Amino acid sequence: MTTSITYEGQLRCTAVHNQSNTSIETDAPTDNKGKGERFSPTDLVCTALGTCMVTTMAIKALELNIDLKGTVTHVQKFMSTDAPRRIVKIEVSVIFPALVIEQKDKDYLQRIGDNCPVAKSLHPDVAQVLTYQWS
């Protein structure tokens, strides 16, 4: 089992990662009866895409002796305005620190990000707008 989730009431959950015993809390968003005081479940889906992209790129970068430390990733979620309520688009912008690397390595890392496990796990109806900014 990966995660144990407890519903705390008032539209809030606590999720515990069983291997590390670390936890996160979720809250319903303000536009859906929540307080918006924590990540919403759909925020976590979008955040998972951004973190998966940069993590898989960093794994491959290590093999190329490239350090991606300092890379910043911005994620924007877009929800449907009609029923059913769902994520319709996720925009991810990956901004790299000043690195001296060849274009072929940049292209390779971008392909890795575009094809990370979360990107490939999302439904094809969810638009993924992925951009990379090399300083």
Give residue 46's pLDDT: 98
Q: What is the mean pLDDT of each run of 10 residues along the chain (135 residues)?
A: 96 97 96 94 98 98 96 97 94 96 97 98 98 95
Range of the domain at 21: 1-39
Give residue 97's pLDDT: 95
- Stated as kind and residue range, the H or E segment containing 100 is none
pTM of the predicted model, to two decimals? 0.95
Number of domains in the chain: 2
Give residue 79's pLDDT: 96
Contacts for 52 with CB less than 8 Å, ≥ 6 apart: 116, 117, 118, 119
33 and 85 share one domain: no
79 and 32 share one domain: no
